[in-house]
Structure 1
Amino acid sequence: MFQTDLFAGHADRNDALGLPGLIERIAGVSQRPRYSLMVLHLIAQAADARGRAGPYVLEDDRRVPIRDWLCDALVPMAQRDARRLAIVAQVRAELENAGRLPADAVEGDRLVDAEVRLRVLKAGRCNVSRAVSDLVQAGLVRRHYQGERVDHHNRGAQREAVYTITESARPALRLG
């Protein structure tokens, strides 16, 4: 079942784009066009021959939800980010204050890294969702949810996102 997206913008435009046109369209709707372009390229990498990616991506014989896979792929972009360093310091301080930081430095670093990873993934899912909303608004991606249908205020509850690259964006991404 397809869900009508709230961010319909250029969706009815079906003209084929080259890479410059694709970049121009993203820049016209996104506050973070480089990030949105990276997300689009990763979706294209995960897409099948029809341009559809999700709800899961196979990685090392396990099924990873597409949003988590995108977040994992984009984590290296945040490795040297000052905000990430601040999160590391904040997590370390919180664990110390709660008396949960082990005396063993290696074990402490592992615990801090695990907590930082959880926080980065949570923020990353929001960032990916915003970028995909921009791509939907630009008419480059269609989004729907697949899985269990639940009557819930969160339209994605117990369902996973599926992204389909539109016909106009496929030539620039060399799909099909």
Structure 2
Amino acid sequence: MFHAATPLEPSGSCDIAAVLERLAQVSSRPRYAFMLLNLIAQVAGPDGSAGPWIKRDNELVSLRDWLCDALTPMAQRSARNVALAERVHGDLVRSGLLPRDAQDAQRAVTEEMRARIRTAGKSNLSRAVSELVNAGFLRRHYQGYRVDHQNRGGQRHAVYTLVGDARLLGTAVRAPTAPVQREFAFTG
């Protein structure tokens, strides 16, 4: 009548609960790390690697910049943004770089805010990627101008490769394609 549960056969899909459990053990910010892992899985190729460039709006953007921009809305809080805008405005005034025209000044403040947010985002991203590497979900190397290398610099850009269970995450993230229903021709 009732049967004992048998272990599931590997089905080629990711055990997201196991990934979350592992992230909770090794990451200081497991939710952020999981979002980052999902974004990498979203843009990873069939071999599991993502980067160094992502095509966005008919232009190439570095993987790290794309990830920072994609995660920026998670950090948007009105009080923080107001405080940052005030700091940026004050810094631009002190440095004499704030344009006199109100629209140009607003654009300058917005551009500087974006640059500062991206810089802070890259720091957070690097920390989270290091945790994902230590957890065994990612491999990281740098690809670029002269030679591929384990260390950044020399006009090299990050490439992240999904490994282990994270490699299967890409199949869990992508929406399954609906089967095509075909019609049979009626001959009669």
TM category, shorter = 0.7 to 0.9
Residue matched to 2:62: 65
Identity of aligned residues (%): 49
With the length of structure 2 as denominator, give the TM-score of the two structures. Answer: 0.76
Unmatched 5+ stretches in structure 2? 1-12, 175-188
Residues 7-156 of structure 1 aligned to structure 2 (within 5 Å): 18-80=15-77, 82-149=79-146, 155-156=151-152
- How many angstroms does 1:25 deviate by? 0.6
What secondary structure does 1:170 align onto?
A: helix
- How many angstroms does 1:174 deviate by? 1.9
Residue matched to 2:168: 171
- How many angstroms does 1:43 deviate by? 0.2
The C-alpha deviation readout for 1:34-61, integer Å capped at 9, x for no partner, is 1111100000011011211011111122
CA RMSD of aligned residues (A): 2.2
Question: Does 1:162 pair with 2:159?
Answer: yes
The C-alpha deviation readout for 1:86-115, integer Å capped at 9, x for no partner, is 221111011122333223222111100001
**Number of aligned pairs?**
158
Write the distance in 2 (CA, Å) between the matches of 1:113 and 1:42.
25
- Asked if the contact 2:14–2:171 (Cα under 8 Å) also holds between the matched residues in 1, the reply is no
Of 59-68 and 82-91, the range deviating more from structure 2: 82-91
Unmatched 5+ stretches in structure 1? 1-15
Q: Which runs of 4+ in 1 moved over 6 A?
A: none
Q: Which has the higher contact order (CA 8 A, sep 6+)?
A: 1
- Asked if the contact 1:145–1:159 (Cα under 8 Å) also holds between the matched residues in 2, the reply is yes
With the length of structure 1 as denominator, give the TM-score of the two structures. Answer: 0.81
- Closer, same or farther: CA 155–167 of 1 in aligned 2, 3 Å: closer
Write the distance in 2 (CA, Å) between the matches of 1:109 and 1:117.
12
Write the distance in 2 (CA, Å) between the matches of 1:50 and 1:100.
46
Write the distance in 2 (CA, Å) between the matches of 1:97 and 1:169.
47
